[in-house]
Structure 1
Amino acid sequence: MDDLSIGHLIYLLVLTAMVVFWFFSDAKQSLGKSLQHAVAWGLIILGTIGVISIWDNIESALFGEPQQIVFTDRTAIEITQQIDGHYYLKASLNGAPVDFVVDTGATSIVLSQEDAKRVGFDPDDLKFTGRARTANGVVATASVIVDDFAVGPFRDQNVLAEVNQGSLDISLLGMSYLSNYGQITISGGKMTLTR
């Protein structure tokens, strides 16, 4: 049991002791009214215990890694929409993990400078001769070739990508990659990419 769990357990024990003390010291009220209050407090305590026991699942759903499921027939990937409304996908580029936001409005794959370094491209050695129009204006880009681009069971070789010279919080997975899939379906908070 970790320190957080012990702290929660002590808190619940103190809360339970206070409720039991209140229940027995409140003899002025009728027994029926006292039982109603005891049941209400019991339900509150059980609810608190329930939330604490599944807190890791709640935290993971709200703030954790993107959920990416590969179907058993290995012909599709299903991505769950996150709380911010976006779809995130984890890929392996030249063996390095890279998180992307799936952006059907982006023309190409756009890597942040940090992700480019992780994949093996030094931004200081790149020639930023390209231009991309973004919501924040025009930015300079450098073209690179990713030797190995893997998403779940799908692997592509020699994939063209752009490295953004400006600041970019997360890399973008645009239509130049998404067009490798025969069907893109968005329904019920899920995006399905099918080959």
Structure 2
Amino acid sequence: MHGDDTGRLIYLSVLVGVVGLWFFAQNRLSANKLLQQAAVWGLIFLGAIAAYGLWDDISQTVRPQQTVFADQGKVVVPRSPDGHYYLTAQINGAPVHFVIDTGATMLVLTRDDAAMAGLHPDTLAFTGRANTANGEVRTAPVRLDTLTLGPVTDTNVRAVVNNGDMAQSLMGMTYLQRWGKIEIANGALTLTR
């Protein structure tokens, strides 16, 4: 435990002690009322801890998901609460989560996503360079055997693997231009072929 952590723990302990003493002093004549209120606050505290700990699971459940209309050759991606559009495509049979980035030129894979798709990042030649919001990064050009998005499967798709830190793979314009129509309206992005 670091010095800051110890100080915070001491502060929190003193704060809980003071609030507890005040609570007890206010309710010293009514023990039942005191126990009821303590139980309610304890449950609220446990609920907050549970919600914080399970937030990733909860957000995956409530996050809007893409909808595929195979008969129409269409994929509809709802806007996420953070304002971005996220979708899942199959690369060489492996599911890869993308953020749609119309400011990115290429389809850009993280090292982890490249490995899931069977491209061995440790054997790639990172000879390319790309300028990003975080500065210059090294990239390795690759060809994807298959990329399946909704009802459409493309073969021999050009992409790059980013050698830098990147939270999520990016679906850039070189792939998006393969779709005949890209439309953003009513809180959704629609790709049609």
**TM-score scaled by structure 2?**
0.67
Distance 1:144 1:112 in 2: 12
TM-aligned CA deviation for residue 73 of structure 1:
2.6
**Aligned position for 2:140:** 142
**Aligned position for 2:170:** 172
Distance 1:130 1:179 in 2: 22
Quick check: 1:66–1:89 contact (8 Å CA) kept in 2? no
**Aligned position for 1:24:** none
Quick check: 2:70–2:151 contact (8 Å CA) kept in 1? no
TM-aligned CA deviation for residue 72 of structure 1:
5.2
Distance 1:76 1:61 in 2: 28
SS at match of 2:115: helix
Quick check: 2:85–2:100 contact (8 Å CA) kept in 1? yes
**Aligned position for 1:124:** 122
- What are the superposed Cα offsets for residues 58-78 of structure 1, whole Å, 9 maximum, x if unpaired? x98844355111125332110
TM-aligned CA deviation for residue 126 of structure 1:
0.5
**Aligned position for 1:153:** 151
Quick check: 2:127–2:139 contact (8 Å CA) kept in 1? yes
SS at match of 1:73: helix
Quick check: 1:69–1:78 contact (8 Å CA) kept in 2? yes
Distance 2:128 2:74 in 1: 33
SS at match of 2:71: coil
Cα RMSD over matched residues? 1.7
Q: Runs in 1 of length 4+ with deviation above 6 angstroms?
A: none
**Aligned position for 1:16:** none
Distance 1:118 1:66 in 2: 24
Distance 1:125 1:89 in 2: 28
For residues 138 and 89 of structure 1, do their structure 2 counterparts lie closer, same or farther at Cα, with a shift above 3 Å needed? same
Distance 2:117 2:95 in 1: 8
**Aligned position for 1:186:** 184
- What are the superposed Cα offsets for residues 95-129 of structure 1, whole Å, 9 maximum, x if unpaired? 00000001111000000000010001111101000
The AA in structure 1 aligned to 2:150 is: G
Distance 1:69 1:60 in 2: 20
Distance 2:168 2:192 in 1: 24
Of the structure 1 ranges 73-82 and 142-151, higher mean CA displacement relative to structure 2 is found in 73-82
**TM-score scaled by structure 1?**
0.67
Quick check: 1:66–1:88 contact (8 Å CA) kept in 2? no
Identity of aligned residues (%): 51
**Aligned position for 1:92:** 90
